[in-house]
Amino acid sequence: MDVVAQDETFTDCIAEGSHFEGAKLTRVTFTRCDLYWVSFFMAQLTDVTFDRCDLRGSDFKDATMRDCRFLNCDIGTDALGGQTEFGDTDLSTVEFVNCRGR
């Protein structure tokens, strides 16, 4: 099932290990969410904000990201020594502000 969300805000959610592969997220904000080991593989993220989220070990490989923001997030090493993966994803319009691990 494809995940589609537009003009949504998620606060203090726990989605550890979830799969958002192929998701289409537009104008979505995640605030203080546990997104540890979440897969956004091949997702389309437009104007998405991650604010104070735990994204360690998450997968953004082959995602399309436009005008996204990572604010005060942890995108460092996970418990097994893995990194948040961006692969060849174009990050030219992505902003990282005060993120640990970046």
The pLDDT, as a whole number, for residue 83 is 87
Sign, Cα dihedral of 96, 40, 66, 2: negative
The DSSP line for 16-42 is TT-B-TT-EEEEEEEES-B-TT-B-TT
For the stretch 9-30, pLDDT in tens is 999 999 999 999 999 999 999 9
3-class DSSP state for residue 43?
coil
Backbone dihedral angles phi then psi of residue 44, each to the nearest 5 degrees: -110, 110
Other C-beta atoms lying within 10 Å of the C-beta of residue 70: 24
Question: pLDDT per residue over 41-76, tens digit each?
Answer: 999 999 999 999 999 999 999 999 999 999 999 998
